[in-house]
């Protein structure tokens, strides 16, 4: 889908023509839309569709008359439960008169711009627009990281009550989300550092502070992601040890009970042999053997309890 926006009288409006100062927003674009944009703005179609490849890595490059920036943005994984996220590429193509954004999905980041939720946003201020996108992206990572931490704490509370496979699987999915975040944030950091060192996009004095804020926000997201990964890894190791201890305790109790029950079985087996045995002709023999069996079982229970085997 292709949508074209322009800031007019400080208001963002949707237009039909790709005139100077417009923002062309492409979400999962069709081949016809790609060809139209490429032909109108003199851009290579491959540079437009690059961001539609889920495996495309973050990068920044200067092409013939325009700049291509690709960063990874966080998204929620639909149907995978709360706190499960992944990342997809977002492409930004800056020309002398236009700005194009390309993504596989309608992300929250670009939706905020389209709905006018970002202060100081103007489609004709392309450099500032790019930095605002990068800042919102880093902020979105921080927001999702806090949600992951909140979900992790909730699962920990559930695991303290009962150790079930479902909660452990949720922790594993959260850890997988953090791995995706860590990889993407590192790639974005390389793009930001290259953006800071080079003159691939023209920057104005007011944009320098915003670029520094973007870099700081991204570094904070990297640090938070590393901390949460360590915490989550330690949590999973701790609960794994708890599960192993519980299994050992259960096996210990079952072994002790087997030992206790084997004593009456042994006595009954001996007196059940087809040979002469004591009390063979006595009417009280059964009760004597029963009493001996119970006494031996009680003694074994006391011994095992003192050794903390029960």
Structure confidence by residue, pLDDT tens digits, 7-38: 988 889 999 899 989 999 999 999 999 999 99
Share above pLDDT 90 across residues of the chain, in percent, rounded to a whole number: 41
pLDDT at site 78: 81
**pLDDT per residue as tens digits for the range 245-263:** 877 878 888 888 888 888 8
The whole-angstrom separation of Cα 211 and Cα 218 is 11
Residue 177, judged by CB atoms within 10 A of its CB (0-12, 13-18, 19+), counts as buried
- Which pLDDT score, from 0 to 100, does residue 72 have? 96
Looking at residue 146, what is its pLDDT? 92
Q: What is the pLDDT of residue 191?
A: 92
Instruction: With beta carbons less than 8 A apart as the criterion, state whether 139 and 188 touch.
Output: no
**CA atoms of 96 and 40, how far apart (whole Å):** 13
| 42-51, 85-94, 301-310: the lowest-pLDDT one | 301-310
Region 214-222: mean pLDDT is 94
DSSP 99-134: EEEEESS--HHHHHHHTT-STT--TT-HHHHHHHHH
Alpha carbon distance 129, 99 (integer Å): 9
pLDDT surpassing 80 at residue 123: yes
Instruction: Identify the three-state secondary structure at position 42.
Output: coil
pLDDT at 161 over 80: no
- Residue 157 pLDDT level (bands cut at 50, 70, 90): confident
On whether the CB atoms of residues 128 and 51 are closer than 8 A, the answer is no
Confidence (pLDDT) at 163:
64
User: Binning pLDDT at 50, 70 and 90, where does residue 200 land?
Assistant: low
Q: How confident is the model at residue 224 (pLDDT cuts 50, 70, 90)?
A: very high
Local confidence band at 143 (pLDDT 50, 70, 90 cut-offs): very high
- Beta strands 85-94; 11-15: pairing state: unpaired
Instruction: State the average pLDDT over residues 72-92.
Output: 87
* pLDDT band, very low/low/confident/very high, at 223 (cuts 50, 70, 90): very high
Work out the average pLDDT over 81-88. Answer: 84
DSSP-assigned letter for residue 90:
E
- Over residues 113-131, the mean pLDDT reads 89
Task: Compute the distance between CA of residue 29 and CA of residue 4 in angstroms, rounded to an integer.
Answer: 13
The CA–CA distances, whole Å, from 45 to 33, 38, 260 equal 10, 6, 78
pLDDT at 290: 81
Asked whether the predicted pLDDT for residue 310 surpasses 70, the reply is no
Query: Residue 236: which of 137, 168, 146, 142 has the closest Cα?
Result: 168
Average pLDDT, integer, range 156-177: 80
- Return the DSSP state at 281: T
Alpha helices by DSSP H, listed for the chain, are: 31-41, 45-49, 108-114, 126-161, 165-197, 205-271, 285-306
**Residue partners of 100: CB distance under 8 A and separation at least 6:** 23, 24, 25, 26, 37, 41, 43, 48, 91, 92, 93, 94
């Amino acid at each position: 889908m292709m949508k074209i926006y322009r800031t007019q009288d400080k208001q963002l409006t949707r237009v039909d023509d790709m005139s100077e100062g417009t923002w062309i927003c492409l979400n999962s674009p069709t081949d016809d839309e790609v060809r139209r944009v490429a032909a109108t703005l003199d851009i290579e179609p491959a540079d437009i569709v690059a961001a539609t490849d889920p495996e495309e890595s973050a990068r920044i490059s200067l092409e013939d008359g325009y700049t291509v920036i690709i960063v990874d943005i966080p998204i929620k994984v639909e149907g995978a439960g709360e706190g499960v996220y992944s990342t997809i590429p977002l492409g930004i193509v800056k020309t002398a008169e236009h700005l194009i954004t390309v993504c596989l999905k309608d992300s929250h980041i670009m939706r905020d711009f389209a709905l006018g939720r970002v202060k100081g946003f103007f489609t004709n201020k392309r450099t500032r627009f790019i930095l605002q996108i990068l800042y919102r992206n880093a902020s979105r990572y921080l927001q999702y990281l806090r949600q992951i931490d909140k979900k992790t704490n909730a699962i920990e509370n559930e695991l303290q009550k009962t150790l079930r496979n479902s909660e452990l699987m949720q922790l594993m999915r959260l850890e997988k989300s953090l791995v995706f975040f860590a990889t993407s944030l590192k790639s974005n950091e390389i793009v930001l550092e290259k953006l800071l060192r080079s003159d691939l996009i023209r920057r104005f004095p007011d944009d320098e502070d915003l670029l520094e804020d973007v870099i700081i926000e991204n570094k904070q997201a990297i640090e938070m992601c590393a901390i949460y990964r360590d915490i989550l890894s330690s949590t999973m190791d701790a609960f794994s040890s708890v599960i192993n201890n519980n299994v050992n305790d259960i096996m210990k109790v079952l072994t002790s009970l087997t030992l206790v029950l084997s004593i009456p079985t042994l006595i009954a087996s001996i007196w059940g042999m087809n040979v002469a045995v004591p009390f063979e002709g006595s009417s009280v023999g059964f009760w004597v053997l029963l009493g001996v069996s119970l006494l031996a079982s009680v003694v074994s229970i006391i011994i095992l309890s003192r050794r903390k085997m029960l």
